[in-house]
Chains A and B, each alone.
Chain A
Amino acid sequence: MQAKNQFKFPGTTQNQILTMALLLTLGTFFMIPGVLLLAARFTRDNPPDDAYLIQQLPLMIFAVISIGFALRFFLRPRWKKKGAEFVLRHNSLQINEEKYSWERLTLLSFVELSQPPRTTLQLFEGERGIFILTRVEPLMSELIQRLREKIEETQLPQLIERWQQGETLRFGNLTIHQTQLLQNDQVILLDEAKSWSQDEDGTLSIRDRNGRGMGIIFTQWLPNGFLLLPLLDAIKGESKDES
């Protein structure tokens, strides 16, 4: 079965355009009597009673709110109007017209426990933010999974090589030195780490040879944090816990 390489998120739909047109029409229609009364109030020698003007206020408010909602469509980001299309190519990721190399991509994603749950995907080229997408579609989790696979496939061998050459690797506030993992004040000595396990939510627990805890890392909140477990497996060359 061929893996899906194209993910399309639609922009403004025809229904939304019709809703916008309806709101604009209704807003304008409700606005007319109030505007005419207001104009008469300040221009005519024999102005209408203020009470009439005040009675028009609710309609005026509804009109302003309707027009405001309609105008929100114009203020949406470009990708929301046009939609976003991800094409996963062999060497690069294409988002609409722009292409980005897999080697430099950094991925962050989180799920907000709203109803329905919304997933946010953030992409960086190195450390420069290039794209943010928040959607509720199930397609999001599939896209994130495919992006992770491609990034792991490209970047993991490079990370292992860099570490073997003595470089320090960095995942947000976590740095991997030759002998230790360092995160804020947390120091985990790699020589003492015997086993590690990761939950479905990405929580990584590292234990010593006596089975005692050495630290906890919430990899889901780290840039490219999903690479940490395979990286640890590779650089330690030891089996992880079965959990």
Chain B
Amino acid sequence: MNRKSVNGIAWYHFYTDTALQWRRVGFLLTSVIFGVVFLVSFSSTPASCCPYESETEAFSWTTTPWEFILASGAIAIYLGIRLLNARAKRIDVYDDGFVIAARGNQHFVRWQEIKGMKVFQSLLRQSFVYRLHLSQDQHFDINNDIAQWMALGALIYARMSEVLARQLLDTLQSGASYSVADVTFLPDGLRQGEQFVSYDDIQSWQTDGSKVTIRCKGNAGVGMLVRHSRETNAEFLTALLYVMLGSPQTH
């Protein structure tokens, strides 16, 4: 689906972080150039200048400098193409979904089409990544390639929470149960493994980012402890508890 078929206004626009891309290319290119210069310096050193014959042999390079230059040029071209592709990436957020425009292609994703979201830390990037599962074998990552990616992640989290909240309420109204991570929402309470807590017995709940603590009335604080897992949609547990129990710390 292309952008022409999208209704509404694009309220938010997110672009590739070009400054970051330029820094990456600059760093890699400089490293390559330094490497070439280092090797060429040894290969072009006349044997007579070095008092140790064996050292000269050890460091001598049999290829010509132009081959290094061609190699570094190829790397620079590859990085440049990557940069141009990355520069083309743009995300416009509309009322009913968002458009990803990259490499001349546009793809529209409705909020309801997102099957799930997973947040994890990428060791390579040293930052969090929001992975949106669009189908069984298709996903889209929101990472620090995009300027203001955390804001985009929070926006998508908010829109998806609203969709999942509707699913949860509809499911409970029909008498069925709804599971997120290892917690099951039932029409009359919450279940985690063998543990069950009725909604009427819950006094308050709070979250500290790594776990959710649910306290029961008149029970010396004993309730339910849910540790955040890295399963798909586990991040939405807090939003769904918000729907069922109201603001944290109060009920």
Residues of A within 8 A of B (CB): 49-51, 54-55, 57-58, 61, 65, 108, 110-114, 118, 120, 122, 124, 127, 134, 172-173, 183-187, 197, 199, 203, 205, 207, 211-218, 220-221, 223, 241, 243
Contacts and interface: CB of A to CB of B under 8 A. Distances in A.
A55 B38 CA distance: 9
Nearest to A213: B243
Given A57-B33, A120-B151, A184-B96, A51 B247 contact: no
Contact of A216 (B95, B112, B148, B242): B242
Can you list the 6 inter-chain pairs with the closest CB atoms, starting with the nearest? A218-B158, A173-B95, A213-B243, A51-B44, A186-B166, A112-B151
A183 B250 contact: no
B246 A205 contact: yes
Given A51-B65, A58-B30, 11 more contacts: A108-B11, A110-B154, A120-B151, A134-B148, A173-B8, A173-B159, A197-B247, A205-B242, A205-B243, A216-B161, A220-B158
B180 interface: no
B212 interface: no
Which of A51, A111, A120 has the most C-beta atoms of chain B within 10 angstroms of its own C-beta? A51
Contacts of B239: 216
B165 A186 contact: yes
Contacts of A184: 96, 111-112, 159, 162-163, 166
B169 A221 contact: no
B12 interface: yes
A218 B160 CA distance: 10
B242 A50 contact: no
A241 B246 contact: yes
Given A50-B66, A51-B40, A203 B11 contact: no
A215 B111 contact: no
A78 to B, nearest CB: 18
B244 A221 contact: no
Contacts of B37: 54-55, 57-58
Contact of B69 (A54, A211, A241): A54
Nearest to B187: A212
Contacts of A183: 162
Contact of A50 (B41, B65, B155, B161): B65
B109 interface: no
Contacts of B199: 212
A213 B185 CA distance: 13
A81 B163 CA distance: 42
Contacts of A223: 11
A55 B40 contact: yes
Interface in B22-40: 26, 29-30, 33-34, 36-37, 40
Contact of A213 (B12, B30, B36, B169): B169
B6 interface: no
A189 to B, nearest CB: 12
B226 interface: no
B86 interface: no
Interface in B193-242: 199, 239, 242
B64 to A, nearest CB: 9
Contacts of B155: 110, 221
A61 B25 CA distance: 12
Contacts of B50: none
A205 to B, nearest CB: 6
Nearest to B39: A54
A114 B9 CA distance: 27
Given A199-B247, A218-B161, A172 B95 contact: yes
Nearest to A218: B158
A50 B64 CA distance: 10
Contacts of B111: 184
B110 to A, nearest CB: 9
B148 A54 contact: no
Contacts of A186: 162-163, 165-166
B163 A185 contact: yes
10 contacts: A51-B44, A61-B29, A122-B11, A184-B96, A186-B165, A212-B244, A213-B169, A218-B161, A218-B162, A221-B154
